Each structure stands twice: as C-alpha cells, then as structure tokens.
Amino acid sequence: MKNETLSFGLPNAKLKKLAERLKLKLKTFSIPSGWTCPAALECLSKFPRNGGKGDLKDGPHTKFRCFQASAEALYPSLRKMVWKNFDILKSSKGDDLELADLIQRMLPDKYDIIRIHVGGDFFNQKYFDAWLEVARRLPEKIFYAYTKSLPYWIKRLDEIPENFVLTASRGGKHDELINSHNLKCAEVVFSEKEAVEKGLEIDHDDWHAAFGKESFALLIHGVQPKGSKASKALQKLKKKGFKGYNKKVTLKQLNELSD
C-alpha cells in the first residue's frame, strides 16, 4: 500500500447539522459496512467489493438495513474508498501503536471532530486500541463512534479518554454488556411514540453521540427490506413528513439495489 493514504469524508446531511450548530470542522471515516462488523446482527447488510445490481444482501437476523451498505452499493466511488481504507489498515503488521502511528500520520489537516465509522466498526482489538491511542495523543480533538464491538470496549473500559466518545449500538451480538456495564447506548426505534415509551430522546444530528452522556434513540431511516416491519414503520414516518437524512438518494435508486 505504498503511497496510499486513508480517505476521510465530509459530513453527510445529518452530521452537517451538528457541524454547523457547533461551528466546528467535522470529518468522517469509513471502512466496508458489514464486512468489518463482527458483532452486527439486527442491522447486518453487505455489498461485495466488486458487486453489481442485486448483490446487496441482508443478514439472517436483519431487522433494519444498514444505510451505509446501501450507499456503498449505489456509489462505486464510495465503495472503492472504504475498501482502500480497509486495505491500508490491514497492511500494518505491527502492534496497535504502529497502527496508531499509521492512522495519525494520515489524519486530515483541518478538523475538530472525527466520526469514526459512518460505515464499518472496530473489527479487532488491535484496531480499537489504535484509535484509542490516536485519541490519547490528540486530546484537543474529539473522536466518536457507534459500536457493537463491545468486548473490545469493555477490555479497555478504564482507559477511555474523555475525547474518545463511544456509544453502544443496540441490536448486536453483545447487547447484554450494555446493561451489565451501564454503557451509553443508541437504539433504533420505529416511531416517536416508541422512543417516548422507552424514555429516550431522539438524536437528529449526532449531538447525543458526540457529546451526550445519556442513552438515546435513532429514528429508522434509509431503505428497509421490502415488507418488513422496518419498511412499514418508515412509510408511516414519511407520511408524517420525515424525509430521512440524505436527500440525494432516492427511494427508487436504493430499492433497485436489492431487487
């Protein structure tokens, strides 16, 4: 991977709200959705590196489809970027400190906040520890992530700096760790009513994820498996005026990916 560098993205429509609200520069980092998510369960979706129309596949327990997997299927340039990032990370054969050196060397020039993984997750302990070390070295920056890779977090529970903000994402293989370790978590809900019933505030711009201390809800969005409860719930939300977060992607485009 000589001369290759990690690619960082600009905030999407949802994250742009947060950046504008706080007047801070926000960048994002992604790796292949599904393929790098060892603990994904209810949101598991994958699109092959060299896939074509109809190759977007949901996992056996998928209840709500990963929006970023759909985006990777729709945009070849995005897919190329996330796989290149993954290849670069895997090229580091040393320990977590060496991987941290690689990541830090390739960070963008100007940023205040980085959302780690719009797509993807911490795929092993070494990779988790590398980002932890990067945050430690740069205390003036904020790094935040949603994760279902809870065992890696739990193993370092007493070593997390304040600027490395993690949110446990419910619907994974290790949900029991959320309650047993009192982790801040995010839960996908199918309606505003469900959020109220669960006593959760809905996060519309990732403020809760990046700065909040309490658990919160996320409204179902993206395009969901046809005929699923998630799809029916999304249609109800749309009738109420909810338009999701990315206005550039049409319902027809995303539906065609899994026909």
Q: How confident is the model over 160-192, as pLDDT tens digits?
A: 999 999 999 999 999 999 999 999 999 988 778
Instruction: Assign 256 a pLDDT band (cuts: 50, 70, 90).
Output: very low
Instruction: Assign 88 a pLDDT band (cuts: 50, 70, 90).
Output: very high
Percent of the chain with pLDDT over 70: 84
Tens of pLDDT along 194-208? Answer: 888 999 999 989 999
Listed residue (116, 167, 111) closest to 141, CA to CA:
111
Core vs surface per residue 195-231: b (16+ CB within 10 A) or e = beeeebeebebbebbbebeebbbbbbbbbbeeeeebe
Instruction: Assign 240 a pLDDT band (cuts: 50, 70, 90).
Output: low
Rounded Cα distance between 162 and 154, Å, is: 16
Tens of pLDDT along 2-26? Answer: 678 999 999 888 888 888 988 999 9
Place of tokens 């949802």: 14
Rounded Cα distance between 160 and 135, Å, is: 9
Mean pLDDT across 90-117? 97
* Residues 181, 157 contacting (CB under 8 angstroms): yes
What local confidence, expressed as pLDDT, does residue 64 receive?
85
Rounded Cα distance between 171 and 45, Å, is: 13
Listed residue (155, 207, 157) closest to 182, CA to CA:
157
Instruction: Assign 258 a pLDDT band (cuts: 50, 70, 90).
Output: very low
Rounded Cα distance between 178 and 182, Å, is: 6
- Rounded to the nearest integer, the mean pLDDT of the chain is 88
Tens of pLDDT along 115-165? Answer: 999 999 999 999 999 999 999 999 999 999 999 999 999 999 999 999 999
